[in-house]
Amino acid sequence: MSGGPHYSVVWTRATPPPTAHKTSRTEVTHVTIAFLVLTGDLVIILSGRGLLYGGNIFAPIPLYFVLLALAAALTGFIAHEMAHKVVARRLGYWAEFRMWPFGLLLSIVTSVAGFLFAAPGATLVEGMDPRNTRGWGQTALAGPSSNLVFAAIFYVGSLGTFSVNADLSVSLLFLMYINALFATFNLLPVGPLDGAKVFRWGARKWAISFAVAAAFLAVSTALYSYGSPFLAW
């Protein structure tokens, strides 16, 4: 599996509506569609139904894979995008998520093929001056930061459940890995990704945040591959 969420923060020139606005039906619709598509993608990958592995995508899917995919999409994607929104709103700007239809279609095609490149959409922010590198950096960093918080929580959960239920412990390691992957990918300092905005805010801030995310990814990959939250280095 590769890739991560599509760029998460986009600047538009429209006059910002009042920051106290309620979540629009449009945003709810876009978030719901993107969430369901990404969950479906993860189900296909987790259950080994991709054509690359000779799987049958029409075969019955165990509930376990559905629940794991839901948790991964909820924490890795929804929480990530809502973190962008919350920070932007606190800074006084209008912000809402909008799905990217082509990116969603691409995620379906790749998951059916047997690997995943997910590009669900972006959180739009209106009214923030593009020269406000601090505001953009804080807003951009919020998404990956939420992923790393969840990664840490899932690791603690894996430690606590290993002696009781090893399967649950490994599932939590997978969720740790997914969140660490999303955080690291989004912090790449290229194009419209979060990392580019953080880098413009400050190279040192970006280096520290990327190093932390990469460390989480390396550890979670090793632990998940090993199948235990305890690993003899």
- Torsions phi, psi for 122 (to 5 deg): -150, 155
In this structure, the strands spanning 9-12 and 121-126 are parallel
Q: Please state at what angle helix 133-161 crosses helix 194-201, rounded to 10 degrees.
A: 120
Distance of CA 206 to the CA centre of its chain: 18
Residue 55, amino acid = G
For residue 27, indicate whether it is catalytic.
no
Active site residues: 81
